[in-house]
A and B are shown apart, each in its own frame.
Chain A
């Protein structure tokens, strides 16, 4: 049993997500990611259960492990109570920990994701917040959302929210003490270490590519090569 496999076995999601796989393909049949991406959860689970470190390393470097949408539809259906989506979560965590996520285009998307989501949690106490919702980055939000955010003070008050206000309510200002507790949780549980690992390797890569960190963030957020989708 190789080292990478041993490390996977320390992840509770892996322990819960993979008992034994009989290769039936039920997960692939139900999987929305398999329908659109060049992705097959059955193959991934089977590869991992062979415990071959070279194969696991190839997965950690690949785009493949980043296609799953973590909908967990597979978890309902697997006749052996595996959860390929959870196996994927463990593989992704290991890919980040080993730095191998930097080897794939989809893995490098960790940078914009971490910037946005961890950034919002530590600053606003929620994963999403109106102040950092960039309309240009979200053309799908439509003209109604452009209008609403342009008048967000009045609009959120009209909706009964407590936008940036004190006390309880939707979009309230989260007190400094509460934010400090979140930061302390990140420090104690490895959240800060993960965020710093993503930041350090991504910013090194940005330098290598002659980009500022912001240019690199934008590039990894917007740019997708051909070849990910089944119909590419």
Chain B
């Protein structure tokens, strides 16, 4: 086939990704705030799609948050990454799939920098040997976990119990996608669709029946900023960036937001709560916020998993308006139960943000 014009540019950004045999690296933020998302990533890929994904106990953080908060040298970060590669190599895997976008950026940065400066790779190999007596192969392929869900979006659609259609109006739900900056802003060729037209999330939404809405600040950072959030005195930066995005998307009345970075959904969710406390303003309908979901959560919903098994009750913004639009059945009484239906009380209610 002869590609012409835009199609040529587009084809540069269509990655061919292996369809099986992955070593999974967990995320600092996702396992704390969205632990069920990691569980459902594995459930969907392993159990539903039958893929071999290795969930290994000996890997650790990649050090990405510490690195981007300037608390560890580049050599330390790279040697931690080299150790992850070594554990993957020892487990017999060649493809790495990572839960975190900061990690995804760091793995890519490391591999690209080594390509440019082979003496640095040699030094890191030496460091790793000295510190851990380990050796490694560079992964053949590094993917973000959302890449895999994107890759299998049509298979998921075939198995879906629900689609992203408002059952009251019959119209596709209006979804905002927010892609983590380090997914493709650093290395556009590493992301589906590059930095200009990243389609990793929009592709999922469209395959599952929803409609992506475009808005002026679509590509603006969520405002995490690492040290701009992890130091309390700096958080105005983080909040201001999220506020800018919400003000920009508000006129388009999104039904939900989908994200691929583990940090972004936390900030887009919690800053809505803070904005509502500080100004009284809420961005959803009737005093609710706009539900912010991870891609695993959205995939889980269309596949018909229970919203509380997916962990949607530990968001601050209530998801019920979205569940009602899709027509998902749920038990309101079960929302805040602990393990084995244990009564673990309920959270207090925010002042302004409606929660149930």
Q: Report A's interface with B, CB cutoff 8 A.
A: 11-13, 15-16, 32-33, 35-37, 66, 68-73, 75-76, 83, 89, 92-93, 96, 106, 109-110, 112-114, 116-118, 121, 125-130, 133, 137, 139-148, 151, 154-161, 166-172, 174-175, 178, 181-182, 184-191, 194-195, 198, 220-224, 229
Q: A137-B232, A161-B39 are in contact. Are A155 and B113 (CB under 8 A)?
A: no
Contact present for B232 and A117 (CB under 8 Å):
no
Q: 29 A–B contact pairs at CB < 8 A?
A: A36-B237, A68-B225, A72-B182, A76-B195, A92-B70, A113-B69, A114-B71, A116-B230, A137-B232, A140-B239, A140-B270, A140-B274, A142-B270, A142-B316, A155-B338, A155-B339, A155-B344, A158-B337, A160-B35, A160-B309, A169-B57, A171-B31, A178-B60, A184-B130, A186-B72, A189-B131, A195-B71, A222-B233, A229-B236
Interface residue tally for chain B (C-beta within 8 Å): 93
Residue in B closest to A138 when the chains form the complex, CB atoms: B232
Contact present for B28 and A145 (CB under 8 Å):
no
| Contacting residue for B227 out of A83, A109, A181, A198, CB 8 A | A109
Bound Cα distance A110, B234 (Å): 13
In the complex, whether B120 has a CB less than 8 A from a CB of chain A is yes
Bound Cα distance A187, B65 (Å): 19
| Contacting residue for B223 out of A16, A32, A171, CB 8 A | A32
Contact present for B72 and A118 (CB under 8 Å):
yes
| Contacting residue for B66 out of A36, A118, A181, CB 8 A | A118
Q: A127-B66, A147-B347 are in contact. List 16 more A-B contacts (CB 8 A).
A: A32-B237, A32-B241, A36-B240, A36-B241, A109-B227, A128-B29, A141-B270, A147-B344, A148-B347, A154-B339, A167-B57, A181-B83, A185-B128, A189-B127, A194-B73, A221-B233
Contact present for A142 and B32 (CB under 8 Å):
no
Contact present for A69 and B60 (CB under 8 Å):
no
Name the residue among A37, A76, A116, A229 with the largest chain B CB count within 10 angstroms. Answer: A76
Q: A73-B185, A137-B232 are in contact. Are A191 and B72 (CB under 8 A)?
A: yes
Q: Is the interface of B mostly helix, strand, loop or mixed?
A: helix
Contact present for B70 and A93 (CB under 8 Å):
yes
Nearest-neighbour CB distance to chain B for A73, whole angstroms, equals 5
Bound Cα distance A10, B345 (Å): 56
